[in-house]
Amino acid sequence: MRRSSELDSAPGLHTDARPEATPRGLRALCSPATLTGSLTELAWVGAHALLYPLGTRTEALRPDAGSRRGAQPAAVRALFAADPLAAQVPVVLVHGLIDNRSVFAVMRRSLRRRGFASVCSWNYSPFLRDVAQGAADLGRHLDRVREQTGHDRVHVVGHSLGGLLARYHVQRQGGDRRVDSLVTLGTPHRGSLLAHIGPTPLIRQLRPGSPVLRELDEPARNCRTRITAVYSDLDQVVLPTTAGRCDHPDLAARNVLVRGVGHMSLPIHRGVLDEVATTLAGVRDGTAARHLAAVA
């Protein structure tokens, strides 16, 4: 059964069985959370523009030499108490459209501080024209990561289009054999109305009801990858914002709503960072999220 959660703009994870509501109207747009989120988005977009040139090359995989269990803070040890080996599973970060690994500058550092030993980012071609091709390229990169680390499976965190490439890979190309958990951030699982203004072949594939998205609606029985879709009610790119949910009867998908967080701010938001860490560590309750507050 699919589960839903609500992640407030304040740090912390709040699981909730209620269906998510996305408030609209002038009152919602003028709320303190929305105004704060909008200002944070503007500030991060400016900072990201400065970091962008530094992220043009794919990051080499460098395991963290300081990840020995005895040297870790107590909060990190608590996060991996149920499965100490989970900290060693490689984490691959995949950026969105017209972007690069610089968008994960904060998340990469955050995951390493939280005890994940092998975290790297993958840059795909800015001239990518097809979701299936990008997904296949991702699969080859994951194979290289597995070969370098000696692990059979990896975790993937995808922002925006990066999440859709990863989902296509695990769902349509057998990638569930190598991807243990997939976390998508602001990914247009059901497309985006904004894609109607884009003329390129790739952007046309992101329109609601496109052949690629209809293909992802097809049965995906026995898909072994655990999927968590984090989406925001303030997403300016995924429209409507509920299109960021992953709703498929055959996928073990968990949808997490964040409020007052812009599209580009998702990879740096404190609550989202906690959600990603607890998900990849295999933790599903709010206890680990509280432990993580001492680490960040």
Euclidean distance between CA atoms 44 and 242, whole angstroms: 23
Euclidean distance between CA atoms 228 and 167, whole angstroms: 11
pLDDT tens for residues 10-58?
433 333 434 454 445 545 556 676 777 777 877 877 877 887 777 777 7
pLDDT of amino acid 283: 74
Q: Does the model's pTM come out above 0.75?
A: yes
The three-class DSSP label of residue 158 is strand
In terms of pLDDT, which residue wins out, 53 or 275? Answer: 275
Query: At a CB cut-off of 8 Å and minimum separation 6, what does 33 contact?
Result: 9, 259, 260
pLDDT tens for residues 190-202?
999 999 998 899 9
pLDDT tens for residues 147-180?
999 999 999 999 999 999 999 999 999 999 999 9
Q: 135-174 burial, b for 16+ CB within 10 Å, e for fewer? A: bbbbbebbeebbeebebebbbbbbbbbbbbbbbbbbbbee
Euclidean distance between CA atoms 179 and 175, whole angstroms: 6
Euclidean distance between CA atoms 192 and 211, whole angstroms: 14
CATH 3.40.50.1820 fits 3-13+26-292, yes or no: yes
Is there a contact between 19 and 272 (Cβ–Cβ < 8 Å)?
no
Across 12-124, the runs of DSSP E, i.e. the strands, are 14-15, 91-94, 119-122
Token pair 């990840």 in the structure block, residue: 67
User: What does the mean pLDDT of the chain come to?
Assistant: 84
pLDDT tens for residues 134-147?
999 999 999 999 99
pLDDT tens for residues 92-105?
999 999 999 999 99
**What distance, in Å, lies between the first and last C-alpha atoms of the chain?**
32
